[in-house]
C-alpha cells in the first residue's frame, strides 16, 4: 500500500491536506486467478468419474443389467469411479484447511513400526511390482508430532515412490532424529526433470496426466505434503534425476511441550 499525503496552505491562510492511498492489487489478482484455476480444476476432476458413473448406470438400466457378466464388469468400473470421487473429495478437504482453526493433538510416534505398518497396507502392489524395500533408521526412535498432519505426509511420499518405481525397483526409506527429524524416501524410478521439479508441488500438477490418472493419482498428493510440512514448521527438498530416480526429504522440527 502506497500512502502519500500533501499539505499546503492556501492564500486564505487555511491549512489543507490531500491524502492519496494506492493499493497494489497484483497479489490479490494473483490469488483470485489461483482460486479460479483451482475451482475449474476441481470441477473438471470431479466431472470425469461422475460422467462415467452416469453413463454406466444408464446403459445398465437400458438392459445391460440382464447380462450377468456385463453387470459385474460395469459394477466394478463404477466402484472404481466412486473410490476415485471419494479420494478426490478427501484430498480437496485436506487441502482446503490451513490448519489455523484446528488444533491437533501431539502424539509420540514409534517411527519404525509406524512405517512397517504403513508398508503393510501396500503389500499387494509391492508384491505385484516385485519391489525391494529397505527401511533404515534407529528402530527405537519415537517422534513427537501432530499425527493428523504427519501421517498424510509420510503416506503420500511412500505411495508415490511405490507408484513411480519400476517393476523390480528399489525403495529406501530413511529416518533420523538429531537436531531435527528427517524422513526421506528414495526410489530408482522415472525421476523428474528440472523443469517439472519447479512445478511438482502445485495443486493438480502431474508430469504425465494419463499415467498418473490411470494409477489413481490426483495431482494433489505433493501439495498436501508441502502444505502439511509447512504447517508442522518444516520444509521439504527434492533431489531427482531423469531416468535415475528421486529422493524426497522432509525436515521437521523437534517439538518441546511442557
Residue range at the interface with ligand ADP (CB under 6 A); choices 8-16, 102-110, 143-151, 154-162: 154-162
Contacting ligand ADP (CB under 6 A), which of 150, 181, 206, 229?
206
Looking at residues 79 to 138 of the shown chain, list those that interact with ligand ADP (rule: CB under 6 A): none
Q: Is 219 in the site for ligand ADP (CB under 6 A)?
A: yes
Q: Is 250 in the site for ligand ADP (CB under 6 A)?
A: no
Looking at residues 169 to 188 of the shown chain, list those that interact with ligand ADP (rule: CB under 6 A): 187
Contacting ligand ADP (CB under 6 A), which of 37, 208, 239, 255?
208
Contacting ligand ADP (CB under 6 A), which of 49, 152, 169, 221?
221
Residue closer to ligand ADP by CB (options 154, 190) is 190
Residue closer to ligand ADP by CB (options 60, 88) is 88
Angle at 112 between CA 110 and CA 118, to 5 degrees: 100
Residues 6+ apart with CB under 8 A from 1: 21, 22, 23, 24
Q: Is 222 in the site for ligand ADP (CB under 6 A)?
A: yes
Residue 90 zone, left/alpha/beta (φ > 0; ψ -120 to 50; rest): alpha
Quick one: cell of 145? 508430532
DSSP code per residue over 172-218: EEEEEESSSEEEEEEE-SS---HHHHTTTTSTT--SSHHHHHHTT--
Residue closer to ligand ADP by CB (options 59, 121) is 121
Specify the DSSP element, H or E, that contains 128: helix 123-128
DSSP code per residue over 53-117: HHHHHHHHHTTGGGSHHHHHHHHHHHHHHHHHHHHHHHHHHHHH--STT--PPEEEEEHHHHHHH
Tell me how many residues contact ligand ADP (CB under 6 A).
21
Residues lying near ligand ADP in the complex (CB under 6 A) are found at 156, 160-161, 164, 187, 189-190, 192, 200, 205-208, 212, 217-222, 246
Amino acid at each position: 500500500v502506497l500512502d502519500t499525503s500533501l499539505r499546503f496552505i492556501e492564500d486564505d491562510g487555511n491549512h489543507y491536506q490531500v491524502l492519496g492511498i494506492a493499493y497494489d492489487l497484483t497479489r490479490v489478482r494473483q490469488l483470485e486467478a489461483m482460486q479460479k484455476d483451482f475451482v475449474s480444476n476441481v470441477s473438471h476432476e470431479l466431472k470425469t468419474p461422475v460422467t462415467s458413473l452416469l453413463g454406466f448406470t444408464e446403459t445398465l438400466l437400458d438392459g445391460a443389467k440382464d447380462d450377468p457378466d456385463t453387470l459385474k464388469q460395469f459394477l466394478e468400473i463404477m466402484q472404481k469411479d466412486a473410490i476415485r470421487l471419494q479420494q478426490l473429495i478427501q484430498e480437496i478437504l485436506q487441502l482446503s484447511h490451513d490448519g489455523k482453526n484446528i488444533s491437533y493433538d501431539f502424539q509420540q510416534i514409534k517411527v519404525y513400526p509406524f512405517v512397517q505398518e504403513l508398508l503393510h497396507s501396500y503389500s499387494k502392489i509391492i508384491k505385484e511390482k516385485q519391489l525391494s524395500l529397505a527401511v533404515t533408521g534407529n528402530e527405537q526412535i519415537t517422534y513427537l508430532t501432530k499425527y493428523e498432519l504427519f501421517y498424510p505426509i509420510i503416506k503420500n511420499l511412500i505411495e508415490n515412490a511405490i507408484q513411480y518405481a519400476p517393476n523390480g525397483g528399489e525403495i529406501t526409506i530413511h529416518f533420523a532424529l538429531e537436531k531435527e527429524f528427517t524422513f526421506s524416501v528414495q526410489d530408482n524410478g522415472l525421476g523428474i526433470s528440472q523443469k517439472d521439479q519447479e512445478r511438482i508441488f502445485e495443486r493438480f500438477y502431474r508430469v504425465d496426466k494419463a499415467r498418473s490418472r490411470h494409477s489413481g493419482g490426483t495431482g494433489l498428493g505433493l501439495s498436501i505434503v508441502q502444505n502439511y510440512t509447512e504447517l508442522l514448521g518444516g520444509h521439504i527438498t527434492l533431489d531427482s534425476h531423469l531416468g535415475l530416480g528421486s529422493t524426497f526429504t522432509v525436515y521437521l522440527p523437534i517439538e518441546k511441550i511442557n
